[in-house]
Each structure stands twice: as structure tokens, then as C-alpha cells.
Structure 1
Amino acid sequence: MRKFSRVICITPRAFRGRIRRAFIGISGSSSQLMRTVRFFPAVLLFPALLCVIPAARAQETPPTPDQTIHVSVDRVNVGVIVTDSRGNFVEGLRREDFHLFDNTVEQPVSDFTAIEEPAQVLLLIEAGPAVYLLEGGHLQAAHSLLNGLSSGDRVAVVKYAESPTALLDFTTDKQSTFAALGQLRFNLGFGSLNLSASISKVLEWLANTQGKKTIVLLSTGVDTSPMNESALVIQRLKISDVRLLAVSLMGGLQNPQPSGKKKSPAVNPSQSAVEFERANQLLKSMAESTGGRAYFPATEKEFHSAYAEIAQLVRHEYSLAFAPPARDGRVHSIEVRIGAPQAPAPLAAPYRLDHRQVYLAPSPR
């Protein structure tokens, strides 16, 4: 078997919510790598991915009960996606159509941005053993996402394995984004996939970014971060103003294509099923904690469909804001309702509203 060396990338610092470019000077590309990977069967990469999981067990540390999250909030941003009973996006809503509730008490909407406002979209891509899924076209299918975004939407590209590495800062230049995807380098074999820790770092980078913010996560859901990190990052996601939309890369592993190569006997089917479910549940929990959605495509066609829907979700997000009524340092619930919009009778059906559920109020001064 041919050996592959692992490349360790140094994460660049991010200043004031801005992501530094870091792919200048990186040699090779995903397309070059795939010419080699074609001779490396997926069934051999599959045990490698599962072997990352025992390594995670060794890294796990007991939860630290006194770890708390502190966020200062003087304005609460709430992104809302509205669909009707048929799943169609509802457009043309106005400020007066929305009603915001803080701990069940209605609050005045202090700011409102219609769906036409440009969005900030950060592509966070796992760069571990799942690289062989490029054969299934999950990155090529990402063109469906980029082509479906508005011309004013800004896109950034970040990859992660041990830690996140910024490849491209926010830009409206879609050609630069395509080029950054083409320059992705992936780690084969064994290594860390610190998903939760990487998302925490990305949330720090996005803290000072203004406007509508969405993380589109391309990941297997395998996480070698310490045990308490996933719970902490879900709490951070809940109280953030960032929407996370997750696309699972596990589909190719769960439904491997037939191969003429000899299969590895090292995979325990019952163990893999448990790990698949754990990974899928983590992605789902992360996405739903922000009012986002998780997708589990298994074919190139399904990847295209998922990305196309994500582009529409990004384009159809209303942005609302209100001033927190109390400075008590506590977690407050958020509820959004809408009145009947000025629309024909067929649209008078019940609506589905996707939005964040809580926020952390500022502490007393």
C-alpha cells in the first residue's frame, strides 16, 4: 500500500472578525490529489476514518462544570426564514408582519432587513480522510450553492482538521471562491478532526462581522474534540446570531460504491452504525440549535439538490433585531410570529418559521 504523508497547517490569526487569506503558497490541488486517490479504494479509507474515533476517546476530558460563556449583547439579531405549508419561501413580508417575543413578552422590532439584503456565507469544509468523497462530486456540486447565491452575497472558505485554516476572506467574487475550492488540500490517513473546537474558533472570527451570517458546514460529523467541547459549542451556537446549515459527507461511507479491490475486514458493521448515528446526530443538533437545517445526501444528485436548497435558504432570510429588555445575564427565549401578510388566499396557510431560539442577555452594569 502506498503511504501518504500528513500535512499540518498552521492556523492564521483572524483580526476583528476578518479572515486572513492563507492559501497563497500552498502547492498542489484537490484535483491533483484525486488522481492519486482514485487508486486508493474507499473501503480502505473507511477504517481509517473510524480509527480517528478511538483517538478521540483518548483525548476526551471530563466536562468542566465551571466553564461558562460570556457574551455582551445590546442588540439581539434574529434571522428568520419563512415557508408555507408546501415548503415554498414566503417573500414580500414587512416589518409590521413580524412579532418578536422575549420570554413570551412582545418587544418592538427595532431593525428590519428584507431578504434582498446581501448575506455573509462561510464555507467550513472538513479536510480529513473523507477526501475520497470528491469522487462523488460533493465539492463540484458546491457550484450549485455558489451559483444560487445573490451577486451581492459574500463568501469565505475555511477548511479544518486539527484546527480551522482560512483559505479565502469574504468576497463577492465567485470565481475566487471556485479557485479556493480547487486549491483545497486534504489530510489522508490518521489525524484529528476537531469539529467542535473548529466551529468555536470560527464563531470568534464571525463575532464582529455585520449583517446576515451563515456557516455552511461540509463534514462527516466525526469529532475528536474533548468530550465537553461539543456541548459547549452547541451552547455557543444557540446564543449566537449565526445560522448553521450542515451537509453530511457520510453518505458515501454508508452506501459505498462497488469496488473490485479486496475489502478490509477491519470494519465492525455494528460499531460503524453507532458511529454514523452519533456523527449524524451531532450535525443535526448543531444545525437545529441555530434555526438551521442538516442534510444527509448520498449521491451527487442529492448533493446538488441540498446545495441548491441552501442557496435559497440564504437568499430568503429576513433579518430582525430588538433591544434586550433586561440586563440580567440570563438566557432568554426568543419567539417569532407573523400576522397575515398582504398576499392571496392560498398563502394564508400556516407558516414554518426557522430562527434562533435563545440569546444571552447582557450582565448588569
Structure 2
Amino acid sequence: MSRIAGNHSHEGASPLAAAFILSVALTSCPGANAQSNAQEQAPTIRVNVDRVNVGVMVTNRDGNFVDGLRREDFRVFDNGVEQPITDFLSVTEPAQVLLFIESGPAVVFLGRDHLRAADKLLSNLSSGDRMAIASYSKDSELLLDFTADKVAARFALDNLNFMLGFGELNLSSGVASAIDWLGTLRGKKTIVVLSTGVDTSPAEKWQAIQQKLETSDVRILAVSLSGDFRKPIKHKVLSRQEKEDRAFVKQGFAAADQSLRELTRVTGGRVYFPKNQKDFDRAYAEIAQLIRHEYSLAFMPPVRDGQIHSITVKVKGFERRVDHRQAYLAPAPRAPEK
């Protein structure tokens, strides 16, 4: 990812104009429904795994992290079979967060209020937390490398360029590139995606992207920016064509929402669909807490079969939400000795 700069503002423009731009993205590439339309078999990625590490977020009904849990409060399952927990640690450490922001022109038609709200996230970061900022449309671009300098981070946010792409918003392939970039970093890593969820990544790449998401140690949290596009137009009788257009956009956003859900689900993250400024503030405050706290569990893979295994973690207690990555790639069978 390379650096970019620049600022193009279209504040005050109509959300319907933004919806039109997004409708172009939805029709210009068949990858908008990549998750459901993938046809080609992806090549298998094989890694050696002697221990499976699982980062687990446990929150209460208010979205606050639940402290004080012990090893005996957790149960972990590999393909539905319970496994002994070999290592357990409650982790509170400085966060490493990549803020990954959609830079297509549709977002700027909303004005910059939603992106200014990201300052809530910056304000909640501790002095030791580090943030990097990247944007994406057709390709992903790095604006700011990891730093604890909040002034530099705010400057990068204020100078986002929203005119990098028009018909292409390659969300999932951009996230996959970001995961590759983060692979060299040690410690806890999180990608916070600010996006409408519209994804024009090629459908045939989805299986490889999904496997990368499932087997990485990066958690994805996502905040949808599409709330304003869905608001009905007040005091206006829509024509038949306008109704058909809005129905089409609504269908497209249903697919976009599913893209965000799937990206976050497989990595043990979560997605937020804020409808107003209060919802945005609440989402960013919760994210700022979750990126620093987790429980780290580990278990030995029960078999070496080179297959993807599902992971399930259960926690004692009621009204607790548990988030963790959903799978890992087991080590391949050992070659017979000659």
C-alpha cells in the first residue's frame, strides 16, 4: 500500500446522488455478490500449526468487556469435540489498529460527519495504542503507518481523498491485502473497517480470501456508513421509476450488509449498523474498549489432516456475547520416514 493525500468535499449533496453512485458500483462488477457466487476452487494454504491460539472477546449486554474470568469458565471445541485448554491468559495490551476507510465518491455525499466521528475512537485510545490509516476503492492505499501520534492520525483523516474510484469498491480483496501487510507485526492486531459494505471484488477470489480471513490472527470490526442512504425521502411522492430504483438500492445494501457480517464473523469480530450520531459514538466507544482487551486461549490440534477445522468457544454465565475466530487450518500429515 502506498501513500496518498488530498481532500475533495461535496458536503450537502443529496444522499440519492450517493445512492446512484453506489448503484453503479453494484452493477459494474459481478463481484458484488462474491460470497454467494464463487465458482472456482481456491488453492489450499497449508501452514504448520503446533498450537492453536484463539483470542476471545466476552462482553455483557451493554457491550462492556467482562473482566475476571478464569480458565475453568471457558470450553473450546474443535469440529464439535471439546479440547483441553493448554494455555490461558487475560490480555490487556496496547492496541494496533488499522483504520480501513472506503474512499469511493459515494461516501463524501454524506458529508464528513461520520468520518469526523472516528475522532471518538482516537479520543478513547490510550497513549500506548498505535493506529495506521488506509483507504480503499479499486486498490488499497496507506495514508499513515502505525503511530501513537493522535495529531498525525487526525491530520490523515482530515485529508482523505474520496475521488479515487467510481465503479469499483474492492472491499474484501482490499482487506485481504491489509491482512498480508499486518502479517509481519507481532501482537494483537485489529482492522476497523468504515464502509458501506458494497463489494465489487471478483467472485472467483472469494474462497481464497475467506480462507485467509479464517486462518489469520487479525480481528475485523466494521462500522457501516450506509445508514443515511436508506432513509426515506420526506414529503415526496415517488414516481414508479424512483420506487424501482430505491428497491434496487435496498436489495444491493442487503448484500452489502451481508458482506460486512461475513468479513467480521469469520475473524471473531463484530459489525455495527449505526442509524444516527449517538449510535456512531456508542460504536466507536465500544470498539476502543474491545481492541485492548481479550482472553487468549490455546489448545493442541487433535489431528494433522491439512483440513480447515471449526472452532467454538463457550463461556459460563448468562447474557454474555462471545466473539472469536471461527476456524484454523490444521497441519498437514507428516511425511512417512524413509
The bucket for the TM-score relative to the shorter chain is 0.7 to 0.9
Q: Give distance in 1, aligned partners of 2:229 and 2:61.
A: 34
Q: Deviations over 1:308-345 (max 9, x none)?
A: 11112213322333443433211123233446xxxxxx
> Pick from 197, 216, 219: which aligns with 1:240?
216
- Higher mean Cα deviation, 303-312 or 89-98? 89-98
SS at match of 2:111: helix
**Match of 2:218, as an amino acid?**
V
Partner of 2:252: 275
Q: Which of 93, 98, 103 is residue 127 of structure 1 equivalent to?
A: 103
1:130 CA drift (Å): 2.5
Alignment correspondent of 1:311: 288
Q: 2:11 — aligned with what?
A: 38
Residue by residue, what CA displacement relative to the aligned partner does 1:50-78 show, whole Å, maximum 9, x if unpaired? 11111112898962125333344344221
TM alignment of 1:81-230, pairs within 5 A: 81-84=57-60, 87-95=63-71, 97-103=73-79, 104-110=81-87, 112-132=88-108, 135=111, 137-187=113-163, 190-230=166-206
Q: Count residues with an aligned counterpart.
A: 327
After superposition, the CA RMSD in angstroms is 2.9
The residue type equivalent to 1:270 in the other structure is A
Equivalences for residues 66-81 of structure 1 within 5 A:
66-81=42-57
Out of 278, 285, 306, which is 1:301 matched to?
278
Quote how far apart the aligned CAs of 1:201 are. Answer: 0.8
After TM superposition, list the pairs within 5 Å mapping 1:5-84 onto structure 2. Answer: 11-12=1-2, 22-23=3-4, 26=5, 28-29=6-7, 33-34=8-9, 37-38=10-11, 40-57=13-30, 63-84=39-60
What residue identity is the alignment partner of 1:116? Answer: T
How much has 1:228 moved relative to structure 2? 2.7
Following the alignment from structure 1 to structure 2, what is the Cα–Cα distance between the partners of residues 120 and 113? 19
Secondary structure at 1:274 match in 2: helix
- Say whether the 8 Å CA contact 1:100–1:109 is kept in structure 2: no
- 1:361 corresponds to which residue? 330
Unaligned runs of 5+ in 2: none
Correspondence for 2:312 among 335, 345, 355: 335
Classify the secondary structure of the residue corresponding to 2:214: helix
3-state SS, counterpart of residue 230 of structure 1: helix
Bigger drift between 95-104 and 112-121 goes to 95-104
The TM-score, its normalising length taken from structure 1, stands at: 0.79
Query: Following the alignment from structure 2 to structure 1, what is the Cα–Cα distance between the partners of residues 104 and 61?
Result: 39
SS of the residue 1:46 aligns to: helix
- Against the structure 1 CA distance between its residues 45 and 316, is the aligned structure 2 distance closer, same or farther, given a 3 Å change threshold? same
Q: Is the CA contact (8 Å cut-off) linking 1:334 and 1:357 kept in structure 2?
A: yes
One-letter amino acid matched to 1:331? I
Where does structure 1 lack aligned partners over 5 or more consecutive residues?
A: 1-10, 13-21, 340-347
Check whether the contact 2:136–2:170 (CA below 8 A) recurs between aligned residues.
yes
Worse overlay, 121-130 or 251-260: 251-260
Distance apart, 1:171 and its partner CA: 1.7
% of aligned pairs identical? 48
**CA pair 58-218 structure 1, distance change in 2 beyond 3 A:** closer
Residue 349 of structure 1: CA displacement?
4.1
- TM-score computed with the length of structure 2 as normaliser: 0.85
Which string of whole-angstrom CA distances, capped at 9 and with x for unpartnered residues, describes residues 134-165 of structure 1? 52511111111122223222211111111111
Does structure 2 conserve the Cα–Cα contact (< 8 Å) formed by 1:133 and 1:249?
Answer: no
